Chains A and B, each alone.
Chain A
């Protein structure tokens, strides 16, 4: 089986798994307990939170541990809406994760006005349009950092600066960027990230919330790391997440170099196949490789590839008109390309042998069309 769906989830790094198990077994006591084992758990948790804060270059009190990016996004959007019930306009985009759209849909049903920031011809957020869209009634601008279909790195830092000029708050989902590219949260008020996209465990994520940003928590009761999210601290999971981030930082250059080489290798091989069109562009992170196969229907194509032992994705299940990929259409303006796109996601764990198999299976698939 060849796994090329690392943007959906990464396998846990064995060193991270060992850390998780070690902390979970050695520091099992409730960190809220006022006895020696509880205090030891708290000390370990404090170290983990400090390490996570250092990674994101924020203060420890600005780290809110959650169970998933879904929870982080919901906490950010609904928590802010609860705090400022009179501001009822939110600007977002068609590229957002389902959990962000879900939270916005929930608010839309309560008479919020949800507006969509358009994309420019290169698939990036149109910042001139964004600047004109923000008004005094805008509660929040929330824009994703990396388009999860094409891998296009979005100008979130610039978008945050524009948003702040209007006195409005800015949230971003950096889940697909952490460990893969550099980012700067200086002007960003809230950011979502998840451990399982960076070789950490599933079940733990973070919402970075700057100290000056008020938020009403969604979960109440039960002392935790922070007043913004109640629950018994997940000692092992949080230590594992902190360690996964640390490793991604320590090994960043090495991992990125490997993925850049793999991306170039794959691009070279696939560029020899005339039926294949590359949708990822100069702004894309090398980990995400979006392509269209002319004449292909992704639903059938993915079944074929899966039967051949290849695991990767297409666009999300719901993407609008005529099953078009919003992001691919924004770049190509070609409906056929936008309705025949595939997402291959690479990792430093990927091998050229695996990519050779992918290319060979793609060639065989083309003969079936």
Chain B
């Protein structure tokens, strides 16, 4: 069971750019569980994840175990490859 946690912020241009790419992959991989957290509003959840300064962050879980994390702005193809090749 695959789960993708995305952490972003409303003030972040890269996060804004990635939203539509995220949406495209959410539609394509609808069998995955997708969870969005806001860096500021969901700070109690985000802080223990220790994500660093570069956002958006994508944390990939398989069977509830973190297997990969990536961050920053990237084109749709790269994002899809990063999320699928775990």
Contacts and interface: CB of A to CB of B under 8 A. Distances in A.
Contacts of A318: 9, 11-15, 53-55
A259 B72 CA distance: 36
B10 A106 contact: yes
Contact of A320 (B11, B13, B19): B13
A367 to B, nearest CB: 26
B53 A299 contact: yes
Interface residues of B, number: 16
Contacts of A319: 13-14
B73 interface: yes
A317 interface: yes
Interface in A100-125: 101-102, 104-106, 108-109, 114, 116
Interface string B51-86: 001110000000000000000111000000000000
B72 A322 contact: yes
22 contacts: A94-B17, A101-B12, A101-B13, A104-B16, A105-B12, A105-B16, A105-B19, A108-B16, A108-B19, A116-B17, A318-B14, A318-B15, A318-B54, A318-B55, A319-B13, A320-B14, A321-B14, A321-B72, A321-B73, A322-B54, A323-B53, A326-B13
Contact of A317 (B16, B19, B53, B72): B53
Given A116-B17, A321-B73, A101 B53 contact: no
Interface residues of A, number: 22
Contacts of B12: 98, 101, 105, 318
B72 A320 contact: yes
Contacts of A322: 54, 72
Given A317-B53, A323-B53, A101 B11 contact: yes
Q: Chain A contact residues: over half helix, strand or loop, or mixed?
A: helix
A335 interface: no
Given A108-B16, A116-B17, A299-B53, A102 B72 contact: no
Contact of B10 (A101, A317, A323): A101
A96 B12 CA distance: 10
A99 interface: yes
Interface of A: 94, 96, 98-99, 101-102, 104-106, 108-109, 114, 116, 299, 317-323, 326
A322 B52 CA distance: 12
Given A101-B13, A318-B14, 13 more contacts: A94-B13, A101-B16, A104-B16, A105-B10, A105-B19, A116-B17, A318-B11, A318-B12, A320-B14, A321-B72, A321-B74, A322-B54, A323-B54
Contacts of A321: 14, 72-74
Nearest to A107: B16
Contact of A105 (B15, B55, B74): B15
